[in-house]
Copies of this chain bind each other. A is one copy, B any other.
Amino acid sequence: MRATVYHGPRDMRVENVPDPKIEQPTDAVLRVSLACICGSDLWPYRGVQKMPDGARMGHELMGIVEEVGSEVKTMKKGDLVISPFVISDGTCEFCQKGLQTSCIHGSVWGGTENDGGQGEAVRTPWADGTLVVLPAEVKNDEAMLKKILPLTDVMGTGYHAALAAGVRPGGTAAIVGDGAVGLCGILAAKLMGAQEIIMVGHQEKRLKVAEQFGATKLVRKTGEEAVKEVQEMTKGGAEAVLECVGTQDSLNQSLGMARPGSYVGFVGVPTGKEINMLRMFMANVALRGGVAPVRAYLPKLLKHILNGTIDPSPVLDMSINLDDVPEGYVAMDNRKAIKVMVNPQA
């Protein structure tokens, strides 16, 4: 089969690789129907994060079950399934608690250990714990599948940020970062009943989506000026701040925007670590979040998508086939695309 392979910064190639097959009785092999390129894929692409030569790419996918191991119970050949970006056994202490990202048998799609979503097929370890079967009626509904696809990562991650930030009905939420996760954070904050949703971002195209998603105010400033503007418009800080970037600056901005006694929900992979502890201390602003246990939120958010409450599909503003994946990275790198959808069967 063909799959996307990393060969160094700015060197993604679609190559022939061995076909996946069942190795463990808990495995399932999927033919990938749809996958995405993630903002976090850009870190190795840009050389900011190290990745070994030959690593497979892509951790957001849905697909058709081709074969299951003898112990797999919840799906059968022909089922359409969706996967979160983390593989988990579904049974350990942490999976039971809804923190599948700390699963004792957990791993992430791609890399050198697993197949990647940006390919024709994948072997899924712990299929019952990891995958969620989608209703048969959506199988050929392209528009609905595009709405569902963000549940693999960005929609669940935005939801995690909102939950960690403690968004409350009638409250004020500020969201730092207008990437796909930040935009999904707007949908999540709205779902939780936030009355005022402030988006702090800089890309006009994305800010349009922000307004479409329900942002009530836009802040285009940066650094301390953005903090000041949010402080002023909320008269003392937002009641919940969603940090959806991960840089040191955006973290400290978020801490500065948060109302005393509130939470910054952070979900951006942190690239800095020098944070304004004194701000946290003096104002009792907490920092909560991390890698999102998207699997925990998937069934609930799926219902909201199926019944039309939320529709994150506008974040997928570019669609390509497998051969064009390298161009997809370029488009995300230079911000031509918010997020790229890959159709490996096209």
Category for how many chain A residues contact B? 35 or more
The CA of A270 and the CA of B278, in the complex, are separated in Å by: 6
Q: Hey, which chain B residues are within 8 Å of A278, CB to CB?
A: 270, 273
A101 at the interface (CB under 8 A from B): yes
A269 at the interface (CB under 8 A from B): yes
Residues of A154-201 at the interface with B, using a CB-CB cut-off of 8 Å, are 164
A288 at the interface (CB under 8 A from B): yes
Q: Interface digits, A263-299 against B, CB 8 Å rule (1 contact, 0 not)? A: 1001001101111111011111111111101000000
Q: Hey, which chain B residues are within 8 Å of A164, CB to CB?
A: 286
A261 at the interface (CB under 8 A from B): yes
A260 at the interface (CB under 8 A from B): yes
Task: Assess whether A285 is in contact with B274, with CB atoms less than 8 Å apart.
Answer: no
The CA of A93 and the CA of B102, in the complex, are separated in Å by: 38
Task: Assess whether B277 is in contact with A272, with CB atoms less than 8 Å apart.
Answer: yes
Per a CB cutoff under 8 Å, which of B102, B276, B286 touches A288? B286
The CA of A272 and the CA of B276, in the complex, are separated in Å by: 9
Number of copies: 2
A331 at the interface (CB under 8 A from B): no
Per a CB cutoff under 8 Å, which of B93, B236, B263, B283 touches A290? B283
A97 at the interface (CB under 8 A from B): yes
The CA of A99 and the CA of B282, in the complex, are separated in Å by: 11
Task: Assess whether A269 is in contact with B281, with CB atoms less than 8 Å apart.
Answer: yes
Smallest CB separation, A156 vs chain B (Å): 13
Per a CB cutoff under 8 Å, which of B94, B274, B275, B291 touches A282? B291
Smallest CB separation, A248 vs chain B (Å): 9
The CA of A148 and the CA of B289, in the complex, are separated in Å by: 37
The CA of A288 and the CA of B306, in the complex, are separated in Å by: 36
Residues of A279-332 at the interface with B, using a CB-CB cut-off of 8 Å, are 280-291, 293
Smallest CB separation, A237 vs chain B (Å): 10
The CA of A306 and the CA of B191, in the complex, are separated in Å by: 46
Task: Assess whether A99 is in contact with B261, with CB atoms less than 8 Å apart.
Answer: yes
Q: Hey, which chain B residues are within 8 Å of A269, CB to CB?
A: 281
Given contacts A97-B261, A99-B261, A288-B288, contact A277 B283 (CB under 8 A): no
Task: Assess whether B280 is in contact with A277, with CB atoms less than 8 Å apart.
Answer: no
Smallest CB separation, A66 vs chain B (Å): 32
Q: Hey, which chain B residues are within 8 Å of A284, CB to CB?
A: 99, 101-102, 289-291, 293
